[in-house]
Chain A
Amino acid sequence: MTRTSWGATLLTILLSLAIGAAAIMLLGYDPVEAYYQLFRGAFVGKFNIGGVFERFVPLMLTALAFAVSAKVSVFNVGVEGELYLGAMAAAWAGYALTGLHPVVHVPVCFALAMVVAGAWGAIPGALKAYWRVNEVCVTILMNYVAIFFTSYLVGNPFSARTSIPRTPSIEESAKLLRFLKPSRVNIGLFVAIGVLLLVWWVLYHTTWGFRLRHTGQNPDFSEYVGIPPKKVMVWGMILSGAIGGLAGAIEVMGIHGHFLDNFSPGIAFDGMLASLIAKNDIRMVPVLALFLAVLKTGALGMERFTGVPKTLIDTIIAVFILLAAMEALFSWKRRGAASAGEGA
């Protein structure tokens, strides 16, 4: 990423905050006070800072999952489903396997979540690669399948038989260590950051990543230089699915301690937005995930202390996406003009 596009992103952030300020003023509140409370609500106190990171982890991982699939030119709306299946797999491994040492138990839960969600991601990948089935339709539908299937599981075979539909609590040995108590932030944060760095390294420093990137950018070119684009597309989707599954596992093992029916309020869709705003640039993904996490966490404080409705933050996020999309449109137009000249 060039310096100018970092600058452009920063500008977009500032501009959307400014438009948000105007909206706050129109509602009759003081924007300075509102933003001050938003800032406090995100950064002052362990609970608030922890809250930011709590939100950051699944946002960042789901954004990363989306970005990885975008690298193989799959528009993967199915991360939410991957998240659910990964969460369920981790929850099952967390309560059903007993007597394991944490050093074994935690990785086993992670691995199962990633395998299940990775396999789930492979389905739309293969459908698109080999049969040219539109991945957007497939992944939207598969989200319903995944969410209803987990609903069925918590209601029946995996139910804890409690008043709310959830699985039994996972073993202590499967729980992720928390810090910054009383917030629920946990070592899943470091796992997520580790995964981000690893994925970045794999994409940009391995031959596997080389194949993956070129397949996404120009499958005809890939095929011609001897990279099998169809296989690579499926592998990209498996990786994407595994990351989405890991996000679900961390939610279960670090935050809830069990799989709760319908536990995600569309986390992966927020992640998708973060990735889209980041133009699927892996280096920008954590920045935007953090930004969204700060806004969403701080919004609670803002509402509590100033009365500005926290849904206003969603408006700011929407404005932000709009601006980012316009910026993308703009740079795309420039690129189009440059390439039009060559054919002359």
Chain B
Amino acid sequence: MSSILIEMSGINKEFPGVKAVQDGMFTLEEGEIHSLVGENGAGKSTLMKILYGMYSPESGTITVRGESFPSLTPKRAIGMGIGMVHQEFMLVREMTVLENIILGFEPRRGAMIDRRAALDKIDYYARTYGLSVHPDKKVGEISVGEAQRVEIIKTMYRGAEILVLDEPTAVLTPQESEQLFEILRSMKKDGKSIVFISHKLREVLEISDRVTVMRGGRHIATLDGSSATAPELARLMVGREVFLGGTPVPSEPGEVALSVEGVYVPGEKELSKLRGVSFSVRRGEILGIAGVNGNGQSELAEAIAGLRPVQRGRVVLGGVEVQNMPPRKIREHGLSHIPEDRNLRGLDRQSDVKENLAACSFSEPPLSRGGVVNWGRVREFADDLIRSYDIRPAGVDVPAAGLSGGNAQKVVVAREVSGRAPVLLASQPTRGVDIGSIETIRAELNRAKKEGAAVVLISSDLEEILSLSDRIAVMFEGRITGEVSSSEADELSLGLLMTGGRR
């Protein structure tokens, strides 16, 4: 019987207007990998930040190795061997890997930093756990996977025996995730205890000894990793039966509705420049575009939608060349677009739900006539969409800034899908969205396809790509590195293409 390292019970934490954690509890046994799962906003990060001393709870006790505290401070948590790798990395981009690792805990010899000692330690982690990093590279130059390893080394360097990883795989490719799991397994073997936060159920089932489910800030259940199943976990997370996964609905593609021919687009970064991207999509099919974020997907979507200039090449929409046309013209030629960032482009957060829903159709009858808006019609229009897309709270005057991520995204989807445009460009349509909304949004994409729309689905979520797409193209460093039909695709082969490998 292994001993209990951490016991949190009766934890309550409130933020203005949100009970982030209510009567929260969590236990961690020595040498286990314990997954913490739950939808976005379930309170996972908050609960763990309480453990790490970043927030103090209003009530509850935290017991670490038999010693109880009402709350901790990061210093004390680190002192007791707790380390946390946050959802957002906390590294200094301008400093080297080595400097980041030792920052604040520099080994000294006299007044000098003992570089040798630090390098030896880093080397030790690399050999023992497979945590390989380049100590002298600047953090700004290394991959996300490596940055994460740096974060892990940093916690161990500070003496962590208990490691909390907040959604570590959200930013990784399948191969990188697999690599991470190897690291976690070897750390476990070495006696470390790990809290693994995720909402990717397959991973959770693969790696966990135990799984704790949170919903709405509450502890719902703690299950044994070996006996838990994905549907059961999904049901506990959402609070009802859900159906996600599955395989693409069969389709009979019609004529080509959108083709992109040899497109070059300047990018945010060197890697994300488009260098001669070509593909086409037919009516009645979903073309999935997979890839690790930052390989040109954002640039591709913006170029198609007229939000970014095309240097060379053609974008043909419904038989018309539309590259470099203003977005309004491109929409008139039949494009609707779910942008990747709902807060930046997808919504006017200072406005209300009805204006956001009407933003693409307000200038035409029946919503307006002769330039005069008919607010009665706008309200009816918005009300219909709110009902059919189950947007909550169901009010046309609700400010957009007050919506949860899932409902905000449903507003965007409702506006774009309801126009029944022949081409639907969906960029990361379910990113940061709760499972219930994911279900609705994916069903809408399938419905659009069934009704004959040509759908381009850009997503870094492979499961999403695999369960919706008829064909899958993979982007890597601004190029399409391969295209496969959904029947022959699997995560492994796609993952290989996503990292630049050829099949």
- Give the B-binding residues of A (Cβ under 8 A): 205-210, 213-214, 217-218, 220-228, 334-335, 337-339, 341-344
Name the distance in Å between B446's Cβ and chain A's nearest Cβ. 24
Is A343 touching B368 in the complex (CB atoms < 8 A)?
no
Q: How large is the interface on B (under 10, 10 to 19, 20 to 34, 35 or more residues)?
A: 35 or more
Residues of B near A210 (CB, < 8 A) are: 355, 362-363, 373
Residues of B near A221 (CB, < 8 A) are: 344-348, 359
B397-416 contacts to A, CB under 8 A, are 401-402, 404-405, 408
Taking the complex as formed, is B40 at the interface, i.e. its CB lies under 8 A from any CB of chain A?
yes
Taking the complex as formed, is B227 at the interface, i.e. its CB lies under 8 A from any CB of chain A?
no
Is B346 touching A344 in the complex (CB atoms < 8 A)?
no
Is B351 touching A214 in the complex (CB atoms < 8 A)?
yes
Name the distance in Å between A225's Cβ and chain B's nearest Cβ. 4
Residue of chain B at shortest CB distance from A227: B328
Is B373 touching A342 in the complex (CB atoms < 8 A)?
no
Given A205-B372, A342-B405, CB of A214 within 8 Å of CB of B328: no
Q: Top 4 closest A-B pairs, CB basis?
A: A226-B328, A217-B350, A224-B345, A225-B359
Name the distance in Å between B299's Cβ and chain A's nearest Cβ. 15
Is A226 touching B331 in the complex (CB atoms < 8 A)?
yes
Name the distance in Å between A216's Cβ and chain B's nearest Cβ. 9
B431-450 contacts to A, CB under 8 A, are 432
Given A226-B331, A334-B16, A343-B432, CB of A220 within 8 Å of CB of B372: no
Is A223 touching B344 in the complex (CB atoms < 8 A)?
no
Q: Per-position contact with A for B64-75: 1 when CB-CB < 8 Å, else 0?
A: 000000000000
Residue of chain B at shortest CB distance from A214: B348
Residues of A near B87 (CB, < 8 A) are: 344
Is A341 touching B15 in the complex (CB atoms < 8 A)?
yes
Is B359 touching A214 in the complex (CB atoms < 8 A)?
yes
What are 29 A-B contacts with C-beta separation under 8 Å? A205-B373, A205-B375, A206-B368, A206-B371, A207-B368, A209-B373, A210-B355, A210-B373, A213-B351, A214-B348, A214-B351, A218-B347, A221-B345, A221-B359, A225-B327, A225-B331, A225-B359, A226-B326, A226-B331, A338-B401, A339-B349, A339-B401, A341-B15, A341-B18, A341-B41, A342-B343, A342-B408, A344-B41, A344-B87
In Å, the complex CA distance between A209 and B368 comes to 12
In Å, the complex CA distance between A311 and B215 comes to 61
Name the distance in Å between A236's Cβ and chain B's nearest Cβ. 16
In Å, the complex CA distance between A103 and B328 comes to 42
Taking the complex as formed, is B360 at the interface, i.e. its CB lies under 8 A from any CB of chain A?
yes
Residue of chain A at shortest CB distance from B345: A224
Residues of B near A335 (CB, < 8 A) are: 401
In Å, the complex CA distance between A339 and B360 comes to 24
Q: Per-position contact with A for B1-37: 1 when CB-CB < 8 Å, else 0?
A: 0000000000000011110000000000000000000
Residues of A near B404 (CB, < 8 A) are: 342
In Å, the complex CA distance between A293 and B343 comes to 41
Taking the complex as formed, is B171 at the interface, i.e. its CB lies under 8 A from any CB of chain A?
no
In Å, the complex CA distance between A314 and B499 comes to 67
In Å, the complex CA distance between A280 and B121 comes to 59
Residue of chain B at shortest CB distance from A211: B363
Name the distance in Å between B473's Cβ and chain A's nearest Cβ. 24
Q: Per-position contact with A for B471-500: 1 when CB-CB < 8 Å, else 0?
A: 000000000000000000000000000000
Query: Number of residue pairs across A and B with beta carbons under 8 Å?
Result: 86
In Å, the complex CA distance between A223 and B331 comes to 11
Name the distance in Å between B242's Cβ and chain A's nearest Cβ. 21
Name the distance in Å between B313's Cβ and chain A's nearest Cβ. 22
Residues of B near A208 (CB, < 8 A) are: 371
Is A214 touching B355 in the complex (CB atoms < 8 A)?
yes
Name the distance in Å between A48's Cβ and chain B's nearest Cβ. 41
* Given A221-B347, A337-B16, 19 new contacts (CB under 8 A): A207-B371, A213-B351, A217-B351, A218-B348, A218-B349, A218-B350, A220-B345, A221-B346, A223-B345, A224-B305, A224-B307, A225-B327, A227-B328, A228-B328, A334-B16, A339-B343, A342-B404, A342-B405, A344-B41
Residues of B near A209 (CB, < 8 A) are: 373
Residues of B near A205 (CB, < 8 A) are: 372-373, 375
Is A224 touching B327 in the complex (CB atoms < 8 A)?
yes
Residues of B near A213 (CB, < 8 A) are: 351
Taking the complex as formed, is B45 at the interface, i.e. its CB lies under 8 A from any CB of chain A?
yes
Is A338 touching B17 in the complex (CB atoms < 8 A)?
yes
Given A339-B401, A343-B432, CB of A223 within 8 Å of CB of B307: yes
Name the distance in Å between B456's Cβ and chain A's nearest Cβ. 16
Taking the complex as formed, is B337 at the interface, i.e. its CB lies under 8 A from any CB of chain A?
yes
Residues of A near B45 (CB, < 8 A) are: 344
In Å, the complex CA distance between A339 and B405 comes to 10
Please pick, from A206, A225, A338, A344, the residue contacting B360 in the complex, using a CB distance under 8 A: A225
Given A223-B307, A228-B328, A344-B41, CB of A207 within 8 Å of CB of B345: no
Residues of B near A217 (CB, < 8 A) are: 348-351
In Å, the complex CA distance between A132 and B372 comes to 31
Residues of A near B372 (CB, < 8 A) are: 205-207
Is B359 touching A206 in the complex (CB atoms < 8 A)?
no
Is B327 touching A206 in the complex (CB atoms < 8 A)?
no
Residue of chain A at shortest CB distance from B18: A341
Residue of chain B at shortest CB distance from A222: B348
Residues of A near B307 (CB, < 8 A) are: 223-224
Name the distance in Å between B340's Cβ and chain A's nearest Cβ. 11
Name the distance in Å between B117's Cβ and chain A's nearest Cβ. 38
Is A207 touching B348 in the complex (CB atoms < 8 A)?
no
Residue of chain A at shortest CB distance from B330: A226
Given A207-B368, A221-B345, CB of A226 within 8 Å of CB of B402: no
Name the distance in Å between A324's Cβ and chain B's nearest Cβ. 19
Residues of B near A228 (CB, < 8 A) are: 326, 328
In Å, the complex CA distance between A339 and B371 comes to 33
Taking the complex as formed, is B429 at the interface, i.e. its CB lies under 8 A from any CB of chain A?
no
Given A207-B362, A226-B328, A335-B401, CB of A344 within 8 Å of CB of B348: no
In Å, the complex CA distance between A224 and B348 comes to 11
Please pick, from B18, B344, B355, the residue contacting A220 in the complex, using a CB distance under 8 A: B344
Taking the complex as formed, is B339 at the interface, i.e. its CB lies under 8 A from any CB of chain A?
yes
Residue of chain A at shortest CB distance from B375: A205
B26-61 contacts to A, CB under 8 A, are 40-41, 45
Residues of B near A220 (CB, < 8 A) are: 344-345
In Å, the complex CA distance between A233 and B345 comes to 18
Name the distance in Å between A167's Cβ and chain B's nearest Cβ. 38
In Å, the complex CA distance between A232 and B172 comes to 41
B97-124 contacts to A, CB under 8 A, are none
Is A226 touching B355 in the complex (CB atoms < 8 A)?
no
Residues of B near A341 (CB, < 8 A) are: 15, 18, 41
Residues of A near B327 (CB, < 8 A) are: 223-226
Is A207 touching B360 in the complex (CB atoms < 8 A)?
no
Name the distance in Å between A226's Cβ and chain B's nearest Cβ. 3
Name the distance in Å between A177's Cβ and chain B's nearest Cβ. 32
Residue of chain A at shortest CB distance from B363: A207
Residue of chain B at shortest CB distance from A228: B326
In Å, the complex CA distance between A220 and B41 comes to 27
Name the distance in Å between B294's Cβ and chain A's nearest Cβ. 18
Is B328 touching A207 in the complex (CB atoms < 8 A)?
no
